[in-house]
Amino acid sequence: MLNFTKIKIISIYFIFLFLAFFAFLNIFSNENLPLKKKVNLGLDLQGGSYLLLEIDTNPLIKERLQDKVIDIKKFLRKNNFSYNSFKINENSINFIIGDDNTNKFQNLFFSKKDNLINPYIDQYRAHQLDLVVENKNYKIEFSKYGLLTLNNAAVKQSIEIVRRRIDDLGTKEPTIIQRGEKRIVVELPGLKDPSRIKSLLGKTAQLNFRLVTDKDNDFGSEKMTLDDGEEAIVNKKIIMSGENLIDAQPRVDSQTNKPMVFFSLDRYGAQKFGKVTTNNVGKRLAIVLDNQIISAPVIREAITGGSGSISGNFSFQQVTDLALLLRSGALPTPINIVEERTVGPDLGKDSIISGTISLVIGFALVVLYMFYKYRFFGLIANISLISNLLMLVGVLTILEATLTLPGIAGIILTVGMAVDANVLIFERIREELRTEKSIIHAFDMGYSRAKITVLDANLTTLLATIILFFFGSGPVKGFAVTLGIGIITTLFSAYFIARHLTSSYVLKNKESVKL
C-alpha cells in the first residue's frame, strides 16, 4: 500500500539524515570536528608514489634449514645411521649415509611416530620437507607446500612491518597489499618524494649486540669496518638481538649535544644485557645493524637498568630513522624494489576535474530528462537521485574508503542505475493507469509489479560486484565497492524515499494526478 506508518517514515529519514551528515563532513575541515572521517582520494586522484616490492626468501630458506640441522643430526644418531660430508647449501641439506639404508631412512623420515624432522601432515597434503636420494647422497629440501607456507608467512610479516614503518612516518592512508606469492604493493597518496621511504623499506633492520675481540674462539669471529673506517674483529656470538627491544626513541645527549637513540629492553633482554656488561667492563660492544657496525662503544660500567643508548656520528634525521627501524622490528627477509612510479599532483588534479565534469554533465542531463518526461514525478525522482548520492558518499565516509577513478566511474554508473529504477517504476504505473480506475490502486500496483524487475536488475549487478570484489584487486575493488554500495542506496532511495514522496503527493491530489 502507499500508506506509510509514522515509525517507518521516521526510520527512513533518520537513516537518510544520518548518512547525509557523514557525506557533508567531506566539505568541512576535519580539524575542528569531533568526527574525523572523510573519503580519501586515491593515488590517481591526488598524486603520490607507487612501489612494488619483492621479498627475497633465499636467506630465510637457508636460515630455516640451519634451524633443522641439530634435529637432523639427532635423528641420524638416534637411529644409528653413520653419515659424513654433512653440509648446508643455499636451499638444501646434503649428507652421505653409509651402507644401503635408503628404505629404512625414508620410512623413518616420513613416519607419524618419528616427527622431529617433518611433523606428519595427513595424506591429502604435501609434507613441509622433501627427501631426494641419489645413490648414497641424501638431500633434504623444502617441498612446494613448505616453500609456499614459508613465502606466505614472510610476506604477511613483511606487510605488517612495512605498515609500521610507513605509519611511523605519518604518511596518510597508505595502501599496502600482497600481490602474488612474493610481492607487496605500496601506494602512498600525496607523497612526492619516496626516497626516504625507499631507504627505510630497503633495510632489513636486524639488530644484534656482539663483543669486539682480539682473538678467535669457539664461535668464531669476523672482521668488520666502522663508519669512520676503523676495522674491528667482532665475535660471531650474538649477545642479544633486536627481538628483546621494547622501544627506541631519538634523543639528544645532554653532555655532548649530539643526537642518539635511546632504547629500552624487555625483562629477559635487561637481565642478559646486565650480565654481559657486568662481566665485560672495559671491553668494546659492537652494535651491528644489517651486518654493519653502527657503533662500538666501550663498556664503562654495568648496565642493569634495562635501557641504553646508541650514539655515533649521526644526524638527527639518521637517528630518527634508526629509532623507527628498531621500533618497527626486523624484516624476516630482504626486500627489493622492482617497480616504482610517481604520479604528479597535476595529473591527479586533472583526473578529479575530468571525473567531476563527467559526473556533473551526466547528472544534469538526467535531471533535465526526468523533469521533462515526468514533470512533478520527475522532480521526485531527482530528489531521490540526490538523496541516493548523499547516502552513497555517507557510507563511503563512514568506511573511510579511498576514492579512485574507477570509484568515480562506479558513482556515475550508480546515477544511471538509479534513474533506470525510477523509469521502470513510472512506466509500469502508466500501464496500470490505462486499465485502473483508481489512481491510488494504480500507483500501488505499479510499485509492487515493478519491484521484481528492479530487484532482478540490481541484484544481478550486485552479484557481479561481489565477484569483482573478491577476485579483483586495486582499482577493480574500488569500482566494485562504490557500485555495490550504490546499488543498495539506489533500492533504498527508490522504494522508500521516492515512494514516500510519491504516496504523499498522490494521496493529497488524487483527483488531479497525471503521469
How far apart CA 235 and CA 251 sit, in angstroms, is 29
**CA dihedral for 45, 47, 49, 52, sign (positive or negative):** positive
Judged on CB neighbours under 10 Å (0-12, 13-18, 19+), 219 is: exposed
The answer to whether 270 touches 306, Cβ cutoff 8 Å, is yes
Quick one: pLDDT band at residue 348, thresholds 50, 70, 90? Answer: low
Identify the pLDDT of residue 493: 93
Full strand arrangement of the beta sheet holding 129-134: 83-88, 92-97, 137-142, 129-134
CATH topology of domain 6-46+346-508: Multidrug efflux transporter AcrB transmembrane fold (1.20.1640)
32 — pLDDT class (breaks 50, 70, 90): low
Give the per-residue pLDDT at 422. 87
Query: Which of 313, 320, 61 shows the shortest CA–CA distance to 199?
Result: 320
Is 331 in contact with 161 (CB distance < 8 Å)? yes
Higher pLDDT, 437 or 296: 296
Q: What is the pLDDT of residue 389?
A: 92
pLDDT at position 113 over 60: no
Instruction: Give, for 209, the enclosing helix (H) or strand (E).
Output: strand 207-211
Residue pLDDT, tens place only, 491-505: 999 989 999 998 888
The 207-211 sheet, strands edge to edge: 240-241, 207-211, 285-289, 292-295
Give the mean model confidence (pLDDT) for residues 25-45: 75
pLDDT for the residue 12? 93
Which residue type occupies 79? N
Please check whether residue 231 is in contact with residue 225, taking contact to mean a CB–CB distance below 8 angstroms: yes
Task: Give percent of the chain above pLDDT 70.
Answer: 90
Where exactly are the structural domains of the chain? Answer: 6-46+346-508, 59-144, 207-312
pTM over 0.85: no
**pLDDT for 391-412, tens place per residue?**
999 999 998 888 888 888 888 8
Residue-wise pLDDT for 203-214, tens only, equals 888 888 888 887
For the segment 31-51, the average pLDDT, to the nearest whole number, is 77
Looking at residue 469, what is its pLDDT?
A: 87
Tell me the average pLDDT across 186-204.
Answer: 81
**Residues near 120 by Cβ (< 8 Å), separated by ≥ 6?**
110, 111, 112
> How far apart are alpha carbons 130 and 420 in whole angstroms?
60
CATH class held by domain 207-312: alpha beta
Q: Coil, helix or strand for 259?
A: strand
pLDDT > 50? residue 124? no
Confidence of residue 490 (pLDDT cuts 50, 70, 90): very high
CB 82 within 8 A of CB 127: no
